Amino acid sequence: MTSHILSWIVFTPLIGAVVVLFVPKSVTHWIKWVALLTTGIVMALTCYALTIFQTAQAGFQMVERASWIPQFGVQYLLGTDGISFPMVFLTAIISLVACLASFPHVRVKEGREKEYYFLYLLLETGMMGTFLALDLFLFYVLWEVVLVPMYFLIGIWGGPRREYAAIKFFLYTLAGSLFMLLGILGVYFAAEPHTFDMTQLVGMPRSLLFQQVVFMAFFLGFAIKVPIFPFHTWLPDAHVEAPTPISVILAGVLLKMGTYGFLRFSYPLFPEATHWFQPAMAVLAILGIIYGGFVALAQTDFKKMVAYSSVSHMGFVLLGLAALNANGFRGAMLQMFTHGTITGGLFLLVGVLYDRAHTRDLNDFGGLGAKMPSYAGILTFFALASLGLPGLSGFISEFLALLGSYQYSKVVTGLSTIGIILAAAYLLYMVQRVLLGKLNPKWAGLSDIKTPEVLTLVPLMILILGIGVYPRIILDYMIPTLDGLLKAIKV
């Protein structure tokens, strides 16, 4: 099993999904336990992989290779390194937490549980595979596998505008990824010998024009997923309409697939184009940070506010990517991880409140701090983490990203810090409107957060606090790979 650990991580959820399909009608209540067990096993497998992961090694580890379509040289090629492993870990933990959060979700409970957990587990296979595939063809297949379950999960169990949100998400992402497919084919035919194998493709010489064209094709696919500023319009719809656990997955994992794509594919394959695109990337990062921040500030819908704060925070990932130096990359990578945990937690908290009050209108709340003290404490914790309070993980990652960008351009850094101020503004304004002030008599009957709900948040809080206090527990895994990448793309 040791030699196939990555395959087990990718396909255990699929096995679980098939098991779910065959659970007989009479014992429907088993389904959620099967799902929880499956995500639990995946988490355990990931922890096991963590123990055999060699932190000091820069190259790919635990590589699995088998021929899949020999006519095109397509391989079943999995492998992990300091860029993908944190993402795999994040996926495992977010999937587990979101699965637990699905249990009490009212729309999931209404029936069709079998479909829900089947799609949910299928989704996990797609996400894991996307982060572990090292063959471009395999990567594309798994990248697309994520789309269809997501469409159904938003479309069937979502809020009032779910149909619109689901198809918008689907079409945006599909359109982007089709261009990526053309780019992948371009890379394939330009390589001598023709191959999809990332380990061979890196370092092959490519002309600048070719790099620029194909970089843009990949960019469309990744930028829509992140989402980068002009392509972000699907995000508020999808995040708001999706049921809570799925919003958590969307914010926690799916957005990272885009930035992961840059680090894993675009940068090492097209180093010259990466440098050519650096200023544009920086501008897009600033746009995202400031625009997302201002729009978040203007929201009255709690969930929409968190959704737009995602646009702003993902901007810091792009900022780190645009810096093209050690600190920037570390910041970007760490921000991908911390944003997943913090924003995932915030979406869970929105869900907790919505399940009780059936509204998300920020102006409608007030004074809940006294009514729901535990909830208030946890919400404040996540809000502070999100706005970058020192001692919590958000601070470390944003600081590193800004440090990196400072070495690249002072103007860019200066403008980006506006985002931090905005984050403080919209998050504290939210805390004020929800927790402080006079209690709206409507909410006198609200009960405090319950243990199962706290359980979904505790793992995330541990990670946030742990990384915030001692970031090396995660940075040590990333640094050798990131430094290797930096050396590889030096022009």
Cβ-defined contacts of 330-333 (< 8 Å, 24+): 330/400, 330/404, 330/475, 330/478, 330/479, 330/482, 331/397, 331/398, 331/399, 331/400, 331/401, 331/402, 331/403, 331/404, 332/259, 332/263, 332/401, 332/404, 333/82, 333/83, 333/86, 333/263, 333/478, 333/482
Angle CA 224–225–227, to nearest 5: 65
In contact, 117 and 32? CB cutoff 8 Å:
yes
Residue 167 or 446 with smaller CB distance to other proteins: 167
Burial of 447 (0-12, 13-18, 19+ CB in 10 A): exposed
Q: Is 185 in the site for other proteins (CB under 8 A)?
A: yes
- The smaller minimum CB distance to other proteins, of residues 83 and 121, is found at 121
Stretch that binds other proteins, among 140-148, 292-300, 337-345, 400-408 (CB under 8 A): 140-148
Contacts with other proteins by CB under 8 A: the residue count is: 32
Determine, following the binding rule CB under 8 A, whether residue 7 of this chain makes contact with other proteins. Answer: no
Return d(Cα 383, Cα 360) in angstroms, integer: 16
366-370 contacts at long range (C-beta below 8 A, 24 or more positions apart):
366/433, 366/434, 366/436, 366/437, 366/438, 366/439, 366/440, 367/435, 367/436, 367/437, 367/438, 367/439, 367/440, 367/443, 368/434, 368/435, 368/439, 368/443, 368/446, 369/435, 369/436, 370/439
> Residue 181 or 283: which CB sits closer to other proteins?
181
User: Which CB sits closer to other proteins, 106 or 469?
Assistant: 106
Is 162 a residue that touches other proteins (CB under 8 A)?
A: yes
> Is residue 441 reached through a cis peptide bond, with omega within 30 degrees of 0 on the bond before it?
no
One residue of 24, 56, 66, 70 binding other proteins per CB under 8 A: 70
What gap in Å lies between CA 345 and CA 381, rounded to an integer?
Answer: 10
Those residues with Cβ within 8 angstroms of residue 437's Cβ, 6 or more apart along the chain or in another chain = 366, 367
**Is the Cβ–Cβ distance between 308 and 381 less than 8 Å?**
no
In the list 37, 50, 182, 326, the residue contacting other proteins (rule: CB under 8 A) is: 182
Per DSSP, the residues of 6-65 read: HHHHHHHHHHHHHHHHTS-GGGTTHHHHHHHHHHHHHHHHHHHHHHH--TT--S-EEEEE
Q: Which of 104, 186, 466, 480 binds other proteins (CB under 8 A)?
A: 186
Q: Which helix (H) or strand (E) holds 211?
A: helix 208-225
x-or-dash string of contact with other proteins, 98-117, rule CB under 8 A: -----------------x--
Of 179, 210, 276, 294, the one binding other proteins (CB under 8 A) is 179
Instruction: Note whether 18 binds other proteins by CB under 8 A.
Output: no
Contact at 8 Å (CB) between 63 and 79? Answer: yes
- The three-state secondary structure class of 134 is coil
Question: Which residue in 69, 209, 298, 421 binds other proteins (CB under 8 A)?
Answer: 69
Cβ proximity to other proteins: between 180 and 474 the closer is: 180
* Nearest residue (CB) to other proteins, 163 versus 361: 163
Which of positions 188-227 make contact with other proteins (CB under 8 A)? 188-189
Closest listed residue to residue 251, CA positions, set 332, 348, 176:
348
Q: Candidates 36-44, 186-194, 225-233, 343-351: pick the segment binding other proteins (CB under 8 A).
A: 186-194
Looking at the Cβ atoms of 172 and 316, the one nearer to other proteins is 172
User: Judged by CB under 8 A, does residue 22 bind other proteins?
Assistant: no
If binding is defined by CB under 8 A, does position 155 make contact with other proteins?
Answer: yes
Among 181, 425, 428, 454, the residue binding other proteins under the rule CB under 8 A is: 181
Assess 58 for contact with other proteins (CB under 8 A): no
Q: In the bound complex, what is the minimum distance in angstroms from residue 160's beta carbon to other proteins?
A: 12
* The token pair that represents 99 in the structure block: 């699965």
446-465 residues in contact with other proteins (CB under 8 A) are: none
At its nearest, how many Å lie between other proteins and the CB of residue 131? 17
Which residue's CB is nearer to other proteins, number 206 or number 330?
A: 206
Piece of 40-48, 66-74, 197-205, 248-256 that binds other proteins (CB under 8 A): 66-74
Q: Could you tell me the sign of the dihedral formed by the alpha carbons of 215, 269, 148, 71, in that order? A: positive
Window contacting other proteins (CB under 8 A); options: 170-178, 247-255, 414-422, 434-442? 170-178
Nearer to other proteins, 186 or 466 (CB): 186
Q: How far is the CB of 134 from other proteins (least distance, A)?
A: 17
CB of 162 to other proteins, least distance (A): 7
Binding region for other proteins (CB under 8 A) out of 137-145, 255-263, 265-273, 408-416: 137-145
- In angstroms, give the least distance from the CB of 223 to other proteins: 16
List of residues contacting other proteins (CB under 8 A): 68-72, 115, 140-141, 144-145, 147-148, 151-152, 155-156, 162-163, 166-167, 170-171, 174-175, 178-179, 181-182, 185-186, 188-189
